[in-house]
Structure 1
Amino acid sequence: ADVGASHLRGWPSTREKPLRSALDVVESLLENRDLKILMDSLIICAFFSVGYQEISELLSSATGHNFDIGTLKQAALRIDTLIRQYNIEEGLVPERDDTLPRRMMQEVKRGPSEGCKAFINERDMRLCIKKIYALRGWDESGRPIKENMIKLGISEFR
């Protein structure tokens, strides 16, 4: 994340302990990430429980313009892609930097999350990262694709 690993940038929607591949929750992780990006952009407190519909209604009422959910999701993707491109231009190397410490692949020893880990193994983590790249419209190395940046209206930043 542009702010480092942060629980304030979204998490997967699941009620199950993470004891299997994380591939099934990547979409919900991005859905929540996009929501958090919008909340940050609109300066909505992270403790306030708000969803896309509420943001759509609030923003439409405040501006007099129609901000449907699709428009909001497109804006979040635009912001995330722009952040990604900026970080690459400033030295981010996805192949090197899009990773987690090995300890995240180790099971929690005790407590309510005993036996859980972020990913079942490094391969699972890599597959999830590749899926995120694809869903974001980035290439296999994690760089935004020019054609997608054009569609998002941010091509001048590449």
Structure 2
Amino acid sequence: MVKMRILGLAAAGLALAAPAMACVSTTTNASNDTENAGAVFVGRVTAVERTDPAECIAAARNRASMNLPGDPGERACEAFGFATLEPAWIIKGEEVVRGTYRFSWNQLGFCSVGWTPEVGALAIAMIPQDAATLREGVSATVEGAHQSDPLFRIILELVAEIQP
């Protein structure tokens, strides 16, 4: 009888914790991602374009009935689009980094660490070893969580001092 109560309490606890656990953002490893990328560079944002948030809004409305803790709802769709980067400093892959790069930002507005680009801001971008893994119209990735990584913050601050 006691075992059944303990099991029942454990199951209830897990059931209550599951929605909260579903919203824990994935841990990123900036060093691993840098090592596995084909090229990595610090880029300066030269243009920002917002895209139609209709798909994002529809997904937010579908989630609304789930009452997920931490879900920003339709507010997550306010920052959604593409931006353009000009390389300012190459960290890895000098032979690969050429021209301007386009990336999507806050592509997943729910349960992810977002980063909103502003013209003139610096960001660390990556070009995967296999460019075919990039979505159509995108030539680099900017991981929002990486932008606050301590090592990446130092790199961004150094590049900002060198190229204000």
TM-score (norm 1): 0.28
Higher strand share: 2
